[in-house]
Amino acid sequence: MTTKIQIVVDEDGSGQRLDHYLAVRPELIAQSLSRTRIQSLIESGLVWLDEAPALVAKTKLRAGQIVEIDVPEAAPAEPLPEKIPLDIRFEDDFLVVLDKPAGLVVHPGAGHETGTLVNALIAHCGESLSGIGGVKRPGIVHRLDKDTSGLLVVAKTDAAHQGLSKLFADHGRSLPLTREYLAICWGAPDRSSGTIEAPLGRHAIQREKMAVVPEARGREAVTHWRLLEKFGADREGKPVASLIACELETGRTHQIRVHMAHVGHPLLGDDVYGAGFKTKAKQLSPEAQEALAALGRQALHARALGFEHPVTGEELLFESAPPQDFARLLDALRAE
């Protein structure tokens, strides 16, 4: 599909280079066309000046000239295989379950075109990797944030992808699915367990963040939690931090991080949703403060993943022990 754009050169454009003039035109900025991309379109014969191909980017313009640009739809860049070590817990001809380390991005995106889990999977699985999820998301049916560690399942065939996608879309309501996370949170709930039901959507101002929003503007989000441990005590005798198990009934972006912050217990190390709690670190022991600084991320780990195999029907359940940085923080908090 090609987008056609026509521009009549105004007085301000008279005497300007073709590429310089086009690079600041609102019509092309709206298409996210950089000057480099515009120069490429010119060299490819996709820019016309008074119905003749304009093949030279530095052509000087005159007021009243008509510029026509054919903008082809951008083809997604195809991720390349990369030899990145994977901690594989299970693999057959249809799917692979792995333990993702913190710091590894799941699929390519802005600022992360290489070095992702997808690049590693392409190298590991080769041609068998399912492409039904799109060029940049082959086999991916759910994801973990870059700085969240733990268990993830990836489809290797279209049949497995369709089955897993249906399973995750069902959120475990009528099909068997277990997703449990460990979260180290500031403070501690007054009860031993509970459920957070609060719709999530994009933050009204900070668009890179998620937020609890009115039902009409958000998507249903449900998190079940259990209090596992309490750590330390502040001046009022209340716990400084706690270990909480969170089970997802829905799987929205940043769901646990937003929900726990919403009820007043953001995750330790979460600079996005727990920035206002940074000063609480002073209430921790020196050892715990050092462990938190070394963690350098939100204290969230995908501990358990269970589901019915989409092809064989086998009941599968996997568990993952917290990684060293997470475990070190836990040990320091237990010693408070």
Residue 282 C-alpha from the chain's centroid: 31
Check if 234 is active-site.
Answer: no
Q: How many residues does the chain have?
A: 336
Cβ(223)–Cβ(248) under 8 Å? yes
Instruction: Determine which one of 19, 99, 145, 147 is catalytic.
Output: 145
Largest CA distance in the chain: 79
Residue 91 C-alpha from the chain's centroid: 24
Residues 268 and 284: their CA atoms lie apart, in Å, by 11
Residues 93 and 100: their CA atoms lie apart, in Å, by 20
Residue 230 phi, psi dihedral angles, 5° rounding: -120, 150
The amino acid that residue 135 corresponds to is V
Residues 210 and 220: their CA atoms lie apart, in Å, by 13
* Close Cβ partners of 254 (under 8 Å, ≥ 6 residues apart): 145, 200, 209, 210, 272, 273
* Close Cβ partners of 331 (under 8 Å, ≥ 6 residues apart): 291
Residue 327 C-alpha from the chain's centroid: 24
Residues 105 and 37: their CA atoms lie apart, in Å, by 27
Can you read off the two tokens belonging to residue 305?
């993943």
Residues 166 and 173: their CA atoms lie apart, in Å, by 11
Active site residues: 145
